[in-house]
Amino acid sequence: MIVSTCQMSKAGLLKSQGWTVIDITVKSGMREFAPSWDIVMGFKNQTLSEDGYTDIYLKMMRDSYKKYPTAWKKLLSTEKLCLACYCKTGDFCHRYLLRDILVKTGKAWGVSVEVIPER
């Protein structure tokens, strides 16, 4: 599989180019991959550091992996996947964390995950 990241504003264009674009924002309602409002607002209000956010999000994804194995399998079987949210390109963002999680999970499952730059 190929995995990339993008801002939500590019989702339509990428879909038209054959990408599966997954909205992983809190607003998406995708509990499997979205962060919680608490950590999003904590980071925005500067009461939660990047390290703190990362620790909490990684724990959330470990729990998600156990609770929603079908969603993870589906994600890892996607040919061209783009993880989308509203953060500015290059800023600290959970889409990059999830991308890296997919690489590690793919390796454990014997799925080759190729990362390409932000779309």
Predicted pLDDT at 31: 85
Using CA atoms, how far residue 90 sits from 12, 30, 34, 77, 94, in Å, is: 20, 23, 18, 26, 11
> Cα separation of 46 and 7, whole Å?
22
What percentage of the chain has pLDDT greater than the value 90? 92
Kindly tell me if the per-residue pLDDT of 38 is higher than 80: yes
| Residue range 107-112: mean pLDDT, rounded | 91
* C-beta atoms surrounding 106 within 10 Å: 17
Dump pLDDT digits (tens) for 92-101.
Answer: 999 999 999 9
DSSP 8-class letter at 9: G
| Residue range 20-45: mean pLDDT, rounded | 92
Read off the pTM.
0.92
| Residue range 65-82: mean pLDDT, rounded | 94
